[in-house]
A = this chain, B = another copy of it.
Amino acid sequence: MTWDVLTIIGTFAFAISGAIVAMEEEYDLFGIYVLGMITAFGGGAIRNLLIDVPVSTLWEQGEFFTIAILSITAIVLFPQNLLRYWPIWGNLFDAIGLSAFAIQGALYAVGMGHPLSAVVMAAVLTGSGGGLVRDVLAQRKPTLLRNEVYGVWAALAGMFIALNIVQSPAQIFILFLFITVLRILSYKYSWYLPKRTMKR
């Protein structure tokens, strides 16, 4: 139940983030909906491909599709109202989505008996793969690969789960809060990972 609420919040935040990027790139209505849906569901689709879950399980998530479509419709109809406070709650919701999706992806992979590397990959892709595809389709350098700390938190969630440090529902919920807070701090205080730039 709690988990469903978190997934709904994440779906909402990811769908809207895709729609916003599409609007910034001057894509049309079709592009706005497509990019919103891909951001919300693309990460899970790629994860399914990479750990041999039938991808079509995606199509059984009817209610989440509806939520994503309604979210995109809301931002299309009332962009000003919704976006005025986006810097405040938009990043909060996105952090919830990253954390909830990453943990869900990792649990999925663990349940299938995959090794550490696959679990971490599943956590990262479920949490941030949708945003990666979104950026590629918007012809942007993926923010996942260069901006404030983001994917690392998803990887960390995957490690905690793969190494069985976190197992009971209560532990998993604490992990969820922990990862969410870390992501919010990264954003709020602009935590960056080091870079090793090279002149070409």
Residues of A within 8 A of B (CB): 20, 22-32, 34-35, 45, 49-52, 54-56, 58-60, 62, 65, 76, 79, 83, 112, 114-115, 117-118, 121, 124, 132, 136-142, 144-147, 149-152, 155, 192-198, 200
Contact = CB atoms under 8 A, between A and B. Distances in A.
Given A54-B52, A118-B56, A140-B139, A79 B24 contact: no
A171 to B, nearest CB: 25
B137 A29 contact: no
Contacts of A26: 146, 195, 197
Contacts of A115: 59-60, 62
A83 B197 CA distance: 13
Contact of A20 (B27, B147, B194, B198): B198
Contacts of A138: 141
Contacts of A144: 30-31, 34
10 contacts: A23-B196, A24-B200, A25-B141, A26-B146, A26-B195, A30-B145, A31-B146, A52-B55, A139-B140, A139-B141
A35 B55 CA distance: 24
Contact of A139 (B52, B58, B139): B139
B193 A28 contact: yes
A41 to B, nearest CB: 10
- Best-surrounded residue of A34, A115, A139 (most CB of chain B within 10 A): A34
Give 7 nearest A-B pairs by CB, closest first. Answer: A31-B145, A59-B118, A28-B193, A29-B193, A23-B198, A27-B145, A52-B56
A51 B117 CA distance: 23
Contact of A35 (B32, B137, B145, B192): B145
Contacts of A114: 56, 59
B56 A196 contact: no
B55 A146 contact: no
